[in-house]
Structure 1
């Protein structure tokens, strides 16, 4: 009897979508077709699903059941799952341990840094954690700095570089149990007094700078300075060759990811620790925290709600992958060979409990930075409708970029009626342009909107997807 009640309740939950789909149009609006034609893109490249969320009829379903690559709109599946499966107030922890006695400020033993999968262990948080260690009496470490990276059972996935360019781009950084500052370094180059100065933040000893930049005597600073970066790996670290030219009084900056996770984490710890007046006399190595080690200090991450907002507003791939593995780590079973497999299993089971089977859904890393990930527009719309009814609907919706106002949508659809009226996640790969999220129409009614374009030459596709949003907004007056 209880099972029958649950089935009836689930049917009632999905009924509005079924009714909307029954009344939905399967014909693209004329202006969307015109935008496709103007950009020489076939109608078959576009999948669209728009669903009214207030019980009204209407909507659009075009190629809605085609398996497509969603690019970064896949982050919506990962972040919504995290809100419900981990909980909005879930936190990650990072800890320092010791295996020897502390006497007169000297730790006679090794110092262990144990990562807990924190997606947002930035330099400020690491500085506070090390400062706390200093306040608790540690001044000098006689032993080694040992990094415990055992929190995740990480999958072995193929490297992804969409344009085959610089592999040191920060958005390509892979997840790690001990992810420090997204493994990114900022390099600031400035020309002052006839000389070029290059600063590195954080300052990590394993990275050396070969400054080959020339000073120009120019009247104005260019929008895109002629500065080039070339990283060369060597046995004892990495040399960054900086070349090009820079006008006197001008500056340039870039972010690069040059080191592996252990080298970066250890380098950041040693750099901050030295600034705080501390010393670590031993070497750097990776290993587990011994059972009898005692915890010295601990730091907690922001809540999932804040993490989800960072991921969706700015389409942070590394944090999304970190979140995906965190779901797997939380619910890992003996049958799961790694945390990606566990996350896939758990998310499918979670969706099934909502009546969403999603046969086209393929999640490789949960970020959309993948050639393997797939979903259909209908499946994405079903997930968005379920999210609209979630207890955490407000948190999920507000995590997405506001049209023409912030995040990855801040420059789109300006000076249109949609300014501030839609929360839309974007997605971009070389052959993909996508949007998905929630939008109001001219009557103040809410809609789930999904538009995904897969095409070998998707140039100009942004205008097509924006037109889908404009058509969704322009509903007949009621």
Structure 2
């Protein structure tokens, strides 16, 4: 049987692709022995693992095992989104966030409404928002007599379904949905500290609608626990959220927790008001959402970091919300009349981009571009083909450096320590309840570079991380 691959034909006996060295004439279709042993030890069938290892230089023998099976890639799907963004948007692409007004400014008083227009910035954190509000002050605004109006219209957002992976806490920051005006990943930082026998609970940013019922118990001085006994029970009402904090904490100990409890509108408005108040400013009107009228003028503007920095955060730390923001940004940039929303526009743009690169991806299914989905699918061969193309891209250095380094940083920081692979693999990881995956680039003991894709789909993936780590170790040893 012949399968279209890299714009040419691949047979079970020979691999001929312009992205592979001419010396590669044979193909291994069996798993490395140590990988097979670990699968057997963990009672996982070989059929659960898809593996592709392709040499980018040197005389290595490619490995293809279950390469054409449609599988869930988990967060390795972020590699598709970030590579596409580099070539479709460009490495220096930036997002902008702006303040406008429809009123007049005199003696520091703005007689009119203050409009905050989001541009989809994935990294509009508290520091950037503070600088933007400082710029607003520097432009003469001290008091706003009108409303604070939030414009979320930049994205045409699809109907979003909350991801539920067997009972995830929906308040966890990694589940935050994308938004045109995403502020600080919509996260609240709770700091619980026992200083002097009294437990204090603080929240950042200090949004007024967040109310804390502190029921923590102070313990006498003791060794600080690795996991402090602190529990948060949020109860939302019409105008605020009350969080009851319970547990016990020894003197001199502290705990830090991140939660996403507010919707985008209330979080953004609350953060703006909190910072503006600290800067000595006032907003007398209320909060509402709506588009910016035509008769407004610009007061202040902030730009995001370049796309290169954004994809580094996405891939190094597997940030789902930022990946979804990026996916919708591709859609917003290439939106046409045929697209009902920016997710569909992004899917169309990425498929068109792949077709122009002669990459057949018939098994690719993109939902939100982050991998945090039960719908997204790809084959190991398709992922490997994409990584081959990225190796030859003008932006290959930027793409490769966005991935975690084995045993050194990101989601690979605690893996493969004390092995020969330390620092020799740039690997994106993926994890769902029934998925473990790695994809990226690694070296063998001769210093030759390889594309590596290993995706394991199984109901009980126990020991899967060690199995996938062994893939990289076996590849390193294969040149001996």
TM-score band w.r.t. shorter chain:
over 0.9
1:438 aligns with 2:441: yes
Label 1:405 to 1:97 Cα distance change in 2 as closer, same or farther (>3 A). same
Q: 1:475: Cα distance to partner?
A: 2.4
* In 2: Cα distance, 1:223 partner to 1:353 partner: 52
Instruction: Name the counterpart of 2:393.
Output: 390
1:146-157 equivalent positions in 2, closer than 5 A: 146-157=149-160
| Residue 162 of structure 1: how far off its partner (Å) | 1.6
> Is the counterpart of residue 231 in structure 1 residue 230 in structure 2?
no
Corresponding position: 1:412 with 2:404: no
Q: Does 1:263 align with 2:258?
A: no
Q: Does 1:329 align with 2:332?
A: yes
Find 1:253's aligned residue among 241, 253, 256: 256
The unaligned stretches of length 5 or more in structure 1 are 1-6
Q: Does 1:133 align with 2:136?
A: yes
What is the aligned partner in structure 1 of residue 464 from structure 2?
461
Q: C-alpha displacement at 1:56, in angstroms?
A: 2.9
Measure the CA separation in 1 of the matches of 2:426 and 2:404. Answer: 5
Task: Note if 1:207 corresponds to 2:218.
Answer: no
On the 8 A contact 1:67/1:360 being kept in 2, the answer is: yes
Question: 1:379 deviation in Å?
Answer: 0.2
Which of residues 195, 220, 243 is equivalent to 1:217? Answer: 220
Instruction: Note if contact 1:88-1:304 (Cα within 8 Å) is conserved in structure 2.
Output: yes
Q: Is the aligned partner of 1:304 residue 2:307?
A: yes
Residue 187 (structure 1) aligned to one of 180, 186, 190: 190
Contact 2:125–2:184 (CA<8 Å) still a contact in 1? yes
- Corresponding residue for 2:455? 452
CA contact (8 A) 2:19 2:388 kept: no
Matched residue, 1:68: 71
Partner of 2:118: 115
Partners of 1:429 and 1:21 in 2: CA distance: 34
Q: Counterpart of 2:267 in 1: which secondary structure?
A: helix
Q: Compute the displacement of 1:217 (Å).
A: 1.7
Superposed CA RMSD: 1.5
Question: Is the 1:443–1:475 Cα contact (8 Å) retained in structure 2?
Answer: no
CA distance in 1, matches of 2:334, 2:160: 20
Where does 1:265-304 land on structure 2 (aligned, <5 Å)?
A: 265-304=268-307
- How many angstroms apart in 1 are the aligned matches of 2:91 and 2:275? 31
Indicate how the Cα distance of structure 1 residues 21 and 141 shifts in structure 2: closer, same or farther if over 3 A, else same.
farther
How far residue 218 of structure 1 moved from its aligned partner, in angstroms, is 4.3
**Cα distance change of structure 1 residues 21 and 112 upon mapping to structure 2, 3 Å threshold:** farther
1:473 is aligned to 2:476: yes
SS at match of 1:77: helix
Distance in 2 (alpha carbons) for counterparts of 1:411 and 1:230: 32
Query: Which 5+ residue runs of structure 2 have no aligned equivalent?
Result: 1-6, 9-14
- The range that moved more, 339-348 or 232-241, is 232-241
SS of alignment partner, residue 15 of structure 1: coil
3-state secondary structure, aligned to 2:364: coil
2:322: which partner in 1? 319
Alignment of 1:46-85 (within 5 A): 46-54=49-57, 56-85=59-88
CA distance in 2, matches of 1:412, 1:99: 54
1:169 aligns with 2:172: yes
Q: Which residue of 1 aligns with 2:359?
A: 356
Query: Given the superposition, is the C-alpha separation of residues 92 and 250 from structure 1 closer, same or farther in structure 2, using an over 3 Å criterion?
Result: same
Instruction: Indicate how the Cα distance of structure 1 residues 267 and 82 shifts in structure 2: closer, same or farther if over 3 A, else same.
Output: same
Map 1:368-383 onto structure 2 (within 5 A): 368-383=371-386
Q: Which moves more between the two structures, 37-46 or 217-226?
A: 217-226
Distance 1:290 1:390 in 2: 42
Which is richer in helix?
1
